[in-house]
Chains A and B, each alone.
Chain A
Amino acid sequence: MARVTDAPKVVTANRLQDGAVVWLTAAGTWSTRVADAQVQTDAPSAETALGIARASAARQEVVEPYAVDVVVEATGPRPLKTREWIRAAGPSIDAIPTAA
């Protein structure tokens, strides 16, 4: 799990039923769009959000929640690390091979 720092963060997890990447919203629900994620701007609020996410994991809604460093852009939060923006945006490749 990522260490909680003062950098802007969003909280993410994978949904239990289908493994989809989900982001914690301000309403305490999960969205598959990173744009819907609530940005936590300080360590205490990030820790609170992680607490909400862990409770959700305990209810078997999601798996392995953690916080992700982001930069906030006009379109919303964008994860800083390559791994996390690929999780947010999907594979960087055309995932479907050339069909017959």
Chain B
Amino acid sequence: MSPSAAARQIDPPANGLPSHAGIYHYDQVDRDFLKERVEQFRRQVARRLAGELTEDEFKPLRLMNGLYLQLHAYMLRIAVPYGILTSRQVRQFGRIARQYDKGFGHFTTRQNLQFNWIKLVDVPAILDLLAEVDMHAIQTSGNCIRNVTSDQFAGVASDEVVDPRHYAEVLRQWSTLHPEFSFLPRKFKIAITGSSADRAAICIHDVGLIAKRDAEGAVGFEVYVGGGLGRTPFIAKKLRDFLPEDELIAYLEAVLRVYNAYGRRDNIYKARIKILVHELGIDTFRDEVEAEFARMPVAQYRLEPAILDGIRARFASQPYEVLEPISGVLARARLEDQAFNRWVRTNVAAHRQPGYAIATITLKPAGGIPGDVSAEQVDVIADLADRYSFGEIRVTHEQNLVLAHVRQDDLPALWKALADIGFGEANSGLITDIIACPGLDYCALANARSIPLAQRISERFADLDRQHDIGELKIKISGCINACGHHHVGHIGILGVDKKGVEAYQLTLGGSAAEVGAIGDIMGPALSADETLDAIDAVVGVYLDRRQDGERFLDTLARIGHTPFKDKVYAAH
């Protein structure tokens, strides 16, 4: 799957995948590779079960195939390239969930899907099923370049300058099994967007790319480096203001080479590129990258227009109808049904194509588990994608799904169908649209549970009138300092800690993963789960009391500072 693969003969869509879904369509070379890879892992599993491989020998092999051993079972993490799926792929998730899991899956903050109850003996068969629909679990673990993530509105957003999907695919092909970058000091995550609004959390990635155009219309990239969360959080720093399109791969090779050469391998907690960038300083790091870049045979790495054209050609386009920009059906439905109108306000975004809309399916029903979907629900969502969105489904880093090509006329019917499966909640971007990692209910690394707390917050704030009154407020919960739940960048962040054997939760305020990223400030001592619920209520109360017209939570916090919130939360302590 090297860039040269793009120049191969382009086949019609195969494997029964919806022909208009906006994914990169594999060819036979890709499929043969996946088949060989599954057979390779099948033999490795057989050798492990036969005792020919010890756990120490087998562990790196299973991790390279996305297979972890968690608290209760093996967990399989499946790569969803830049978060885009077809309805057939989603149905295959449902089949795997029924046949090999407990009937559900979990969408993650990296736009991937995890199954929590997998048996080692079943993994080769599961990988066969994934390969049937051009999917795999490669590079969803290990110290390599992980699945590239992107804006869930890529290619359809009304504010988009450059469609990032094609570049994300370039990066996927470049980074897949890259021999030089398969054993980095630590894992490496790249996110890319092409819009002015950052929906891909660029600022918290090892490398963040913003595709844009110069005055002449040429495509290039604003390059950020050294962002990340975990025990030492950093907002990424700008490395280049405008990297020409054809230098993308060469420049990233230079960045990775500098990291590979100087990144620490003696201390896992200091091994990420963010530590290197911080310790060298961005200017010295940039000098090193530019020096490496200058030494490279750049022509050899040039991203030629023919390669990009080949990749673009393997993305289906959507046969949009010519429609009026504003749908009368939609306008009438909004007037007639306030619940539907509310859903449109929060969960529907403007589409670049007149008469179409982008619909976010929040996987956050009141009291639900963020990101969890049952096999029955994914089957219905796949059917809805076929009916209303060219058979395409997208995953967001906020653990939601998106149907990206819905006719405005179809929104009322879509919403009703979603409500029937419990996913009609009008809460995208609101206080119950919570990010939560699996936490101590599943994860071997966690110190505290995340999901039950998310459920209780969701129940406490279930009243939609209240949620809409509060407005944009993002709560993010991690069960340990590894920060898979992005708590550092939550407007209200919650970190689970182990306080002398008892679960406790440390609150942060003022984080953001939007255009101007920010790490939240710790409010004070950790609290019990009950106290945390009351603390969130108190924080919201201060905001509602003190906000001025049009102010979001973060605006009020910036204006009045943290003290009034801390005083209220800790008044009883």
Contact = CB atoms under 8 A, between A and B. Distances in A.
B48 interface: yes
Interface in B138-188: none
A-side interface mostly: loop
B501 A80 contact: yes
Interface stretch (B33-41, B273-281, B448-456): B448-456
Contacts of A96: 102-104, 374
Nearest to B502: A82
B120 A21 contact: no
A83 B368 contact: no
A99 interface: yes
A9 B380 CA distance: 48
Nearest to A63: B55
Interface in B50-109: 50-51, 55, 69-74, 102-104
Contact of A87 (B71, B421, B455): B71
Given A95-B104, A96-B102, A90 B51 contact: no
B-side interface mostly: mixed
A59 B50 CA distance: 9
Interface in A57-100: 57, 59-60, 63-64, 80-83, 86-87, 90-93, 95-100
B104 A97 contact: yes
A26 interface: no
Contacts of A59: 51
B120 A82 contact: no
User: For this complex, into which size category does the number of interface residues on chain B fall?
Assistant: 35 or more
B440 interface: yes
Contacts of B440: 82-83, 86
User: For this complex, into which size category does the number of interface residues on chain A fall?
Assistant: 20 to 34
A50 B423 CA distance: 48
A95 B368 CA distance: 10
A100 to B, nearest CB: 4
Contacts of A19: 69-70, 72-74, 118-120
Interface string B373-393: 110110110000000000000
Interface string B490-506: 00000000100111000
A52 to B, nearest CB: 17
Contacts of B104: 95-97
Contacts of B372: 97
A14 interface: yes
A83 B501 CA distance: 9
A92 B120 contact: no
Given A18-B73, A21-B71, A97-B372, A91 B420 contact: no
A97 B452 contact: no
B412 interface: no
A91 B501 contact: no
A16 interface: yes
Given A14-B69, A82-B440, 13 more contacts: A17-B121, A19-B72, A19-B74, A19-B119, A19-B120, A64-B55, A86-B440, A92-B452, A93-B369, A96-B104, A97-B369, A98-B374, A100-B377
